[in-house]
C-alpha cells in the first residue's frame, strides 16, 4: 500500500483487491487498513510458530506480544485459530504429556509444572495426566534403562546415584524407594513397561 507515492504498509490480498490506484482514503479507512495489516502479520507469525510445534494459547500470545503485535491483532488471531482448531489447550496438554511419557519420561508432577509454565489450565492438565502411566511404572522403566550403566558401582553408590537420577526427573521419595527396592530384589524384569 502506497500513500502519497510512498510505501506505507502491506495488505492481505483480500483487502487490497477492493482498492484502486488514485483512490482517496479517509484517516479512518487508513487506520482500518493498518489494523488489517497488523492482524495479517500476527496471523502469519502465529502460523509459522504453530508449524514448528503445537503451542498453548498463553504461549502463543506471549510470543506474539514479544514480537510487537498489538493486543487487538493477537485477540483476533487467537480467536480465529481456536475456531479452526489450530489452538486447543486440551489437545496441546494431551500431546505434551504423551510425548513426555514416550520420549523423555518424567514424573506426572514435573509434566504438570511444565504445562503450568506454558499457561495451560488445571482442568486440562489433570485430564492430560490421567492418560499418562503411573509414576511408579515410569520410574521403574527409567531405572531399568539406567541400571546397566551403574552396574560397576558399589551397591550403596549405585543406589544413591539411581535415587538422585530419578529425583531429578521429578519422582517423590516414596516412589523412588519402592522402585529401588523392586530393582534390588530383582523384580524389575517382571514389571510392566511404560508402553503398556
DSSP output for 169-184: TT--HHHHHHHHHHHH
Residue-range definition of the domain harbouring residue 167: 135-190
Say if 170 falls within a structural domain. yes
Say if 144 falls within a structural domain. yes
CA 128 to chain centre: 12
Q: What is the CATH number of the domain that holds 118?
A: 1.10.10
Could you say which DSSP state residue 132 is in? S
Query: What element of type H or E holds 164?
Result: helix 155-168
Alpha helices, DSSP H only, in 10-154? 13-16, 27-52, 57-66, 71-83, 89-103, 108-117, 122-130, 135-150
Say if 71 falls within a structural domain. yes
196 residues of the chain, pLDDT tens digit each: 555 556 565 555 555 556 555 556 566 766 666 667 787 888 889 999 999 989 999 999 999 999 998 899 999 999 999 999 899 999 999 999 988 888 888 999 999 999 999 999 999 999 999 988 899 999 999 998 898 888 888 889 989 999 999 999 999 999 999 999 988 887 444 444 444 3
pTM of full prediction above 0.75: no
Q: Is 57 in the same domain as 119?
A: no
Return the ∠ at Cα 101 (arms to 93 and 183), rounded to 5°. 150
Q: Is 33 in the same domain as 54?
A: yes
The predicted structure's pLDDT at residue 192: 47
Counting Cα atoms < 13 Å in the Cβ hemisphere of 132 gives: 31
Q: Is 97 in the same domain as 154?
A: no
Q: Is 6 in the same domain as 70?
A: yes
What the block records as the C-alpha cell of 56 is 498453548
Say if 195 falls within a structural domain. no
Q: What is the CATH number of the domain that holds 19?
A: 1.10.10.10
User: Rounded to an integer, what distance in angstroms lies between the CA atom of residue 184 and that of residue 178?
Assistant: 10
Say if 196 falls within a structural domain. no
Q: Is 147 in the same domain as 95?
A: no
Q: What SS3 class is residue 9?
A: coil
Q: Is 97 in the same domain as 118?
A: yes
The predicted structure's pLDDT at residue 184: 82
Say if 41 falls within a structural domain. yes
Contact 78, 60 (CB under 8 A): yes
Say if 157 falls within a structural domain. yes
What the block records as the C-alpha cell of 134 is 503411573
Last residue of a domain, one of 83, 98, 113: 83
Amino acid at each position: 500500500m502506497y500513500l502519497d507515492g510512498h510505501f506505507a504498509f502491506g495488505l492481505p490480498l483480500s483487502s487490497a483487491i477492493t482498492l484502486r490506484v488514485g483512490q482517496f482514503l479517509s484517516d479512518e479507512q487508513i487506520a482500518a487498513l493498518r489494523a488489517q495489516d497488523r492482524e495479517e502479520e500476527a496471523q502469519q507469525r502465529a502460523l509459522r510458530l504453530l508449524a514448528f510445534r503445537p503451542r498453548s494459547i498463553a504461549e502463543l500470545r506471549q510470543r506474539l506480544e514479544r514480537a510487537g503485535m498489538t493486543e487487538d491483532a493477537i485477540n483476533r488471531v487467537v480467536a480465529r485459530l481456536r475456531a479452526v482448531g489450530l489452538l486447543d489447550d486440551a489437545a496441546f496438554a494431551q500431546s505434551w504429556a504423551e510425548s513426555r511419557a514416550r520420549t523423555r519420561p518424567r514424573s506426572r508432577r514435573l509434566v504438570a509444572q511444565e504445562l503450568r509454565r506454558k499457561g495451560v489450565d488445571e482442568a486440562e492438565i489433570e485430564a492430560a495426566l490421567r492418560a499418562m502411566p503411573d509414576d511408579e511404572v515410569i520410574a521403574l522403566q527409567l531405572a531399568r534403562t539406567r541400571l546397566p550403566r551403574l552396574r560397576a558401582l558399589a551397591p550403596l553408590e549405585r543406589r544413591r546415584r539411581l535415587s538422585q537420577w530419578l529425583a531429578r526427573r521429578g519422582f517423590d521419595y516414596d516412589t523412588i524407594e519402592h522402585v529401588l527396592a523392586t530393582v534390588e530384589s530383582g523384580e524389575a524384569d517382571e514389571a510392566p513397561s511404560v508402553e503398556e
